[in-house]
Chains A and B, each alone.
Chain A
Amino acid sequence: MDMSPSDHPESFFAGDETAMLERVYARSAEIRGRRRSLAFGASGFLAGVAATVAVVFGLSSVSPGAAQTGLRIVQPARGPGITIPAGPHGRMLWRSASVGAVGTLPAYGENRLFVAAADRAVYALDAGTGSVVWSHTVCCSLPTSSGAATIDYALGRVLIAAPDAPLQALDARSGQPAWTTAGPEPALSDGGVAVAPPVVVSAGPSGIRAYRVATGDPIWSMGGVVARLAAPNATSVFVVVPGAGGGDQLWNLDLASGKVRWRHDLGATVHGRFSATRDSIYVVDDLGALHAIAAADGHQRWLAQIAPSSCGTKPACSDNPGGFRSQPNVTGNLVTVGDDAGFMRAFDTNDGTMRWQLDTGAPIRSSPLVSHDALFFANDDANLFAVNLATGEKEWSADMLAPVRSQPTVAYGVVYVTDTTGHVTAIVD
């Protein structure tokens, strides 16, 4: 008997390497979730459940950090390939040619920035130089809808959701179509798509649908529901649905099955995007109140009334009485949100107490992003700000040459923004 086993044909791996990688990420998320459970006791429970959900869905990854912070999902990158010369903060690294993008944030993945232009072209730009790596016009001859496409990156896929178009995924490396859903999505608006790998959920006037990120396979759908906005955490997707009394409701749907866990009456309409974390959902309503709602059972933890006093008589507030278009960001024990009056404010997630505010002098429609204790956001005066998250003190600002209304993306110490003229700009932090 030879101790060294013979090389059976099946002893050579012949499976799907990408699927295995996703499986590894999913299991890794579960392992790390369990560690957090051990570290933080009951607070870690949902993370483990989240990872389990990922495993149930099969071979895909969950981004537990996203569940905790409510930030955009940034998957592991390929490496920067960027040489950043020494110099002050806030200097421009490059500015791309205009791609005609309309306010969509650049999605980052695999050392590329992905932007969706108004003409339905999707561009991948080299994160180091801003040059176009590939471009692809998304499927189908589409009516000239005014809605901008929403774009995101997850699991090697660039996900594009545009009004009256199927939900589409491109291979991030090649730009080639990976999958597309069968028919037009229900008039997806900005914020109507929630990406929580391995699931992507679209919400619109004709229902809510969930698909696998990697393959586009449908997971569940819910018809007969008019849903407008969506945001995920690791175990749920939260959608805003018009209520019977004129106000909107927030629904918690199980990410795996679509089952409704609870409904919460917000008492007002909501048009701004909202953020979900493992513990709470933070929603700014059209009356200018910031709601903190418990993710577990939907009870209101606290309510902070901000507008109309913050909006005052500034002209920019006239078309948006609530004054909030910026998506709240939740990091640690602070939730930050900007308003049309030009204020960026931070509230304590425990009780809603305002910790600091910064007047930037121009409407803030850009959703803030936190990276390494710095808060990045822009305003309509074309200024990009880096602010100390703990104190609210401005660290630096940079002129973006055009108003910025999208959320910045940060990778490798470089802040990327798209502006209203369709340029993507890279700024060194």
Chain B
Amino acid sequence: MRFVTAVHTGIDMASSEEFEAAFRELLPRAYRVAFRVLGNRAEAEEAAAEALARAHASWARVGALPWRDAWVLRVTANVAVDMSRRRPRTMAARSSSTTDEGELVTLRLALSAALATLPRRQREVIALRYLADLTETEVAACLHVSLGSVKRHGYRGMASLRQLLDVPDEGAGLRWT
């Protein structure tokens, strides 16, 4: 028997089934990561869709990765940060508010802007560790780096964020653990 694939999509059918199963699992997580960066439903959907599309386009490779989920979440975070970089500045002003939600939005925007200034590796570590809720071990596997490297980049990234966000050292909640 020949191994027959769905030639029309360029993705073999078994992989397509796997992708759809993974998609249903990953979509909420990717969306959540993106929303945490962007704070906007439409943009979060766009970022999640972009990341999942990149995964689908390379599913033969990505689907076989042991850190597949982390790969998708990392791409999501990067896409979201890139989107936040391109976002018009007026959006931040429009989002300003005295309400709790407004403060949250302002904080998120500030965080996104700060994240965007970090070196790529630091940004990825921070995004995966905090926005995607991965463990340090998972982050290390995802980024192909050692656990020590994750800790180092995370520590440096957090230090940079504290400085950028004007948060005192070891400030409330802003800790690398």
- Point out residues on A near B: beta carbons under 8 Å: 1-6, 8, 10-13, 15, 17, 20-21, 23-28, 30-32, 35, 63-66, 69, 71-80, 84, 89, 370-372, 374, 410-414, 428-429
* B residues in contact with A2, CB < 8 Å: 172-174
| B167, A1: Cβ atoms closer than 8 Å | yes
Q: Which of B96-110 contact A (CB under 8 A)?
A: 101, 104, 107-108
Please tell me which stretch of B3-11, B81-89, B116-124 contacts chain A, meaning at least 4 of its Cβ atoms lie within 8 angstroms of it. B3-11
Compute how far the CA of A428 lies from the CA of B3 in the bound complex, rounded to whole angstroms.
Answer: 11
In the bound assembly, the distance between CA atoms of A63 and B175 in angstroms comes to 47
A79 CB, min distance to chain B CBs, angstroms? 4
Chain A residues near B7 (CB, 8 Å)? 65, 69, 71, 74, 370-371
Are A6's CB and B13's CB within 8 A? no
A77, B4: Cβ atoms under 8 Å? no
Is A77 in contact with B6, judged by CB distance below 8 angstroms?
A: yes
Contacts of A410 in B (CB 8 A): 4
Question: Which residues B12-71 have CB closer than 8 A to chain A?
Answer: 13-17, 19-20, 23-24, 27-28, 31-32, 35-36, 39, 41, 44-45, 48-50, 52-54, 56-57
Q: Are B28 and A12 in contact (CB under 8 A)?
A: yes
Nearest-Cβ distance from residue A400 to partner chain B, whole angstroms? 19
Known: A1-B107, A1-B173, A1-B174. A15 touches B45 (CB 8 A): yes
Report A-chain residues with C-beta under 8 Å of the C-beta of B53: 23-28, 30-31
Min CB gap B33→A, angstroms: 9
Tell me the minimal C-beta distance from A235 to chain B in angstroms.
16
CA distance A77 to B6 in the complex (A): 8
- B41 with A10: CB separation less than 8 A: yes
- Selected from A13, A23, A72, A77, the residue in CB contact (under 8 A) with B31 is A13
Known contacts A23-B49, A65-B10; decide if A5 and B36 are in contact (CB<8 Å).
Answer: yes
Contact B9 A429 (CB under 8 A): no
Least CB distance from A319 to B in Å reads 34
Q: Does B1 count as interface, using CB distance less than 8 angstroms?
A: yes
Q: How far is the CA of A383 from the CA of B76 in the complex (A)?
A: 52
Chain A contacts for B2, CB-based, 8 A: 371-372, 374, 413, 429
A74 touches B6 (CB 8 A): yes
Residue in B8, B35, B54, B165 whose CB lies within 8 Å of A10 = B35
Over the window 146-172 of chain B, the binary record of Cβ atoms lying under 8 Å from chain A Cβ atoms (1 yes, 0 no) is 000000000000100100010100011
Residues of A within 8 A of B52 (CB): 20, 24
Smallest CB gap from B108: residue in A:
A5
Bound CA span A112–B161, Å? 53
B105 and chain A: residue at smallest CB distance: A8
Is B131 in contact with chain A by the CB < 8 A criterion?
Answer: yes
The 9 A-B pairs with the shortest beta carbon distances in the complex, nearest first, are A76-B16, A2-B173, A27-B53, A65-B8, A28-B56, A13-B31, A413-B1, A77-B13, A31-B57
Contacts of B57 in A (CB 8 A): 28, 31-32, 35
Select B104's contact among A6, A371, A428, beta carbons within 8 Å: A6
Q: Which residue of A lies closest to B7 (CB)?
A: A65
Task: Note all chain A residues with C-beta closer than 8 A to B4.
Answer: 371-372, 410-414, 429
- Alpha-carbon separation in the docked complex, A413 to B14 (Å): 12
Q: Which residues of A are found within 8 Å of B20, using beta-carbon distances?
A: 21, 76, 78
Q: How far is the CA of A76 from the CA of B60 in the complex (A)?
A: 14
Which listed residue, B24, B44, B101, touches A17 by the CB 8 Å rule? B24
Known: A76-B6, A77-B13, A374-B2. A24 touches B32 (CB 8 A): no
User: Could you show 12 A-B contacts with beta carbons less than 8 Å apart?
Assistant: A5-B36, A8-B104, A11-B32, A15-B41, A24-B56, A27-B50, A27-B53, A30-B53, A63-B8, A64-B9, A79-B17, A374-B2
